[in-house]
């Protein structure tokens, strides 16, 4: 009853743009999770068992997304949210249809490039639209709604994808194209443009505002930039081993399972479904349990779990142990994700929040680009045990770095809070998870 009441309140609170986004996310996430676990297996079969070429094609999408993502947000600020969202969905829909007719490695590579471009264009514009229409205090609730919709796809998609994969993989691509096309039609029909027109200023006035009092433009200094944003850079680099784990789960892990279990497709789909269901059931409970813990302890525990997960993926000899490992992964995921995002929001200056989140999110694109390439090389030369064993070592190193970075920042803010309280001066909020 409480859930129903909350949903009724949400339905009445937000306008069509928010609900179109939630419905579209649920639709497309189901079909995307039908495709993503099996795309590398499909390419592996189509490219005559060439592991490296399969991984190369998969890695092209995040590489292009990494480049396009650098200016996607600025593009939506100039031409509007709706045109960029529509262009993104049309490109994604076309890419899925093109996969059905591709016959060579060059076709797959080109399609992967366009797919990465489409995905990278969408989220900066869509998230900016949320900021346009939702009050700041309501945004966490809205993003939680989208996260729930995404996990519905994670729970339902893999097993549906397994059924279609064993029947006809082209039907998976067709289903992805259909849901993306429906999403595009809903955006075109029901979502208004939310970008507000900016006051017109002359080019001369803008140029003068960008110059210091001397009249000369300030030269860019990388050491100065690095000193100013060193905490952001440290957090981003420390996060990369974890996002590399995600990237390898989507690319190399199915091939590793193939070498160890006969029913590897069913196992992989079941693990992903299990993960999605656990997130839906436990995310709020985990958030409440860790709400008052110091951030460095939360992150240290999460990274310890991720390191154990990497070893479990590499060496687990039984399916039941894989499910136990997946449960540990789910707990670590629910601890790490929300609190790392909160840390970025706290350290970001108010005028640079967009830049901080876009820079931090680059670790996902970099990992999804490098992960399939490195995974393909290690699988080709060694085996999955080596791959996930080395990944475990990287996660331990990243966890040590993240622990001490968060600990130093935590105690610095606690100390500043104590001084500010005693002197009556305003201080930054304490960073606790």
Q: DSSP letter string over 55-72? A: HHHHHHHHHHHHHHHHHH
Is the torsion defined by CA of 268, 272, 278, 283 positive or negative?
positive
* Rounded Cα distance, 229 and 220, in Å: 14
CA 197 to CA 122: how far, in whole Å?
Answer: 21
The sign of the CA dihedral 408, 413, 414, 419 is: positive
Contact 159, 29 (CB under 8 A): no
Q: For the full predicted model, state whether its pTM sits above 0.75.
A: no
Tell me the two tokens of residue 256. Answer: 């590793």
Which residue bears the tokens 């969905």? 89
Unique residue bearing structure tokens 């990494």 = 66
Residue 178 in contact with residue 40, Cβ under 8 Å? Answer: no
From 271, 284, 261, 241, select the one nearest 374 (Cα to Cα): 241
Q: Do the beta carbons of residue 64 and residue 91 sit within 8 Å?
A: no
**202 three-class SS:** coil
Instruction: Give the pLDDT of the chain (433 residues) as one tens digit per residue.
Output: 554 555 565 566 666 777 888 888 888 888 777 776 667 777 777 777 777 777 778 778 888 887 887 676 667 777 877 888 899 899 988 988 888 887 777 887 888 888 888 887 787 777 777 767 766 556 656 666 776 777 777 777 777 777 777 777 788 888 888 988 998 998 888 888 777 655 444 434 444 444 555 555 556 566 777 778 888 889 989 999 999 999 898 778 888 898 888 888 889 888 888 888 887 787 767 777 777 788 889 999 999 999 999 999 999 989 999 999 999 998 998 888 777 777 776 777 755 655 666 677 778 878 888 887 788 788 878 888 999 999 999 999 999 999 998 888 777 765 555 555 444 444 444 444 4
């Amino acid at each position: 009853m409480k859930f129903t009441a909350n949903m009724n309140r949400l339905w009445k609170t937000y306008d069509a743009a928010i609900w179109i986004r939630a419905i579209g996310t649920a639709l497309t996430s189901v079909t995307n999770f039908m495709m993503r676990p099996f795309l590398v297996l499909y390419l592996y079969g189509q490219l005559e068992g060439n592991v490296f070429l399969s991984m190369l094609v998969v890695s092209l999408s995040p590489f292009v997304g990494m480049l396009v993502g650098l200016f996607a947000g600025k593009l939506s600020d100039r031409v509007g949210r709706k045109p960029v969202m529509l262009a993104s969905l049309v490109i994604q829909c076309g890419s899925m249809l093109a996969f059905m007719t591709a016959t060579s490695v060059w076709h797959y590579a080109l399609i992967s490039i366009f797919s990465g471009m489409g995905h990278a264009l969408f989220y900066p514009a869509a998230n900016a639209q949320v900021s346009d229409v939702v009050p700041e205090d309501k945004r966490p609730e809205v993003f939680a709604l989208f996260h729930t919709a995404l996990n519905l796809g994670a729970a339902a998609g893999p097993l549906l994808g397994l059924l279609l994969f064993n029947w006809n993989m082209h039907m998976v691509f067709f289903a992805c194209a259909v849901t993306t096309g429906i999403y595009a039609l809903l955006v075109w029909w029901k979502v208004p443009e939310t970008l507000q027109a900016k006051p017109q200023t002359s080019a001369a006035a803008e140029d003068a505002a960008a110059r210091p009092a001397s009249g000369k433009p300030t030269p860019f200094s990388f050491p100065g930039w690095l000193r100013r944003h060193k905490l952001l850079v440290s957090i981003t680099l420390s996060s990369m081993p974890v996002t590399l784990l995600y990237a390898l789960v989507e690319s190399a892990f199915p091939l590793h399972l193939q070498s160890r279990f006969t029913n590897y497709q069913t196992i992989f789909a079941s693990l992903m479904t299990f993960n999605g269901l656990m997130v839906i059931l436990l995310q709020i409970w985990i958030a409440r349990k860790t709400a008052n813990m110091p951030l460095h302890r939360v992150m240290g525990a999460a990274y310890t779990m991720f390191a154990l997960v990497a070893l479990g993926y590499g060496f687990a000899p039984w399916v039941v142990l894989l499910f136990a490992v997946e449960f540990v992964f789910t707990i670590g995921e629910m601890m790490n994700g929300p609190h790392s995002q909160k840390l970025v929001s706290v350290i970001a200056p108010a005028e640079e929040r967009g830049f901080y989140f876009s820079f931090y999110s680059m670790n996902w694109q970099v990992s999804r680009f490098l992960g399939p390439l490195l995974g393909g090389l290690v699988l080709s030369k060694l085996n999955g045990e080596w791959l996930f064993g080395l990944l475990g070592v990287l996660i331990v190193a990243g966890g040590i770095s993240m622990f001490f970075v968060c600990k130093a920042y935590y105690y610095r803010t606690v100390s500043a809070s104590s001084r500010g309280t005693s002197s009556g001066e305003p201080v930054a909020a304490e960073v606790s998870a």
